[in-house]
Amino acid sequence: MSSVSSLVAGQMVFTGTNFYDLGFAANVSYSGIFADKVTIDSTTQVTATWNLGFPPLGQEIIPSLWFNETGTDVRHYANISSSLSKALTLASGYTGL
């Protein structure tokens, strides 16, 4: 079982056990939006980065993490125990228009 251990500034960090590393590429999507960069930090941690931040959502979504074996179409999916939501927030506004 894997989980999301932190969400900071457009980065999502997954922790777990026995992640694939050598000979595999990691992939992450959140609500169908693929991470711009995914790094296998170790067999227990993967970091995904969205350059423009996480997409805002009104409901909880379970992110997807999978590993592709180099040179094949074989995918190994991680079982994620965390669901996440990111509400849309207004960063600035206009008054008196």
The model's pTM is: 0.80
pLDDT range class, residue 41, cuts 50, 70, 90: very high
pLDDT at 38: 97
Report the distance separating Cα 77 and Cα 24, nearest Å.
12
Cβ–Cβ < 8 Å for 17, 58: no
Reported CATH class of domain 3-77? mainly beta
Q: In what order do the strands lie in the sheet with 24-30?
A: 33-34, 24-30, 64-69, 75-77
Burial of 65 (0-12, 13-18, 19+ CB in 10 A): buried
Higher per-residue pLDDT: 39 or 61: 39
Q: In what order do the strands lie in the sheet with 11-15?
A: 3-8, 11-15, 45-49, 37-42
Q: What is the mean pLDDT of the chain?
A: 83
pLDDT at 88: 45
Predicted confidence (pLDDT) per residue in 44-91, tens digit: 999 999 998 876 777 888 889 999 999 899 999 998 877 765 554 545
pLDDT at 95: 61
